[in-house]
Amino acid sequence: MAEKTQQRVAIVTGASRGIGEAIARSLGEQGRHVVCVARNAEKLDAVAKAITDAGGHASVKTCDMSDHTAVGALIDTVADEHGRLDILINNAGITRDNLMLRMSDAEWDEVMQTNLRGVFIACRAALRPMMRGKWGRIVNISSVSALVGNAGQGNYAAAKAAVIALTKSIAKEMGGKNITANAVCPGFIETDMTDVLPASIKDNVKKITALGRFGKPQEIAAAAAYLASEEAGYTTGQVITVDGGMTMC
């Protein structure tokens, strides 16, 4: 194991764009060393450069969250290289939308492998270095679909709901170890995934959202950054919904 890095070390999965990129930048501004993780090395390099250009510290690791052996190895490698791991933000996720009667086994399994099992593997691996360091913050990005369901997203909603239950279980198990675990449930956010939605759907979302607009990735990042901060030491097992008042949960 390398000599222990002085600043806190954070892993952010799905950091190449959208919410993950915004979280990575926010943690960089907090003074964390941010390990940016996703499949696209070129995009990750751009995010890491933006963090370092702003005076922060960042590095890049490529990984497919559906490759569970690679996920565990990634966590171990980061902890070994830096002598610590303090923060894990599980943001990476995929969609394979379809109505229930048409959904294939493969569409169900792909989403579960990445959005649920990948999160479980990452959390389990991260807990060991966090316990050694006697401090840890786990933030799992869920979704409002986990709270209210969504037609055509039975697989996605089920996986994200399970992530909430997993998060609460980790919080109960790790409370005595000074490790917190919380979930953030974004509503409809301005990202590449929502840009392709038909105008009719976007208009309907705005109508049922109290603030009458889509959220911004930075607004999710602000919630995640707080939960990953020193000041959030008494917040654990919580579900923070950031959806502009769409669900009022």
Residues with a catalytic annotation lie at: 156
Rounded to whole angstroms, the Cα distance separating 70 from 61 reads 11
Give pairs for 146-154: CB < 8 Å, separation 24+: 146/185, 147/185, 147/239, 147/241, 147/247, 147/249, 148/247, 148/249, 151/99, 152/97, 152/98, 152/99, 153/95, 153/97, 154/100, 154/103, 154/108
Sequence length of the chain is: 249
Q: CA-CA distances (angstroms) from residue 1 to 32, 40, 78, 82, 213? A: 20, 27, 10, 8, 47
C-alpha angle 222-235-59 in degrees, rounded to nearest 5: 45
> Which residues, in sequence order, are CB contacts of 73 under 8 Å at separation 6+?
none
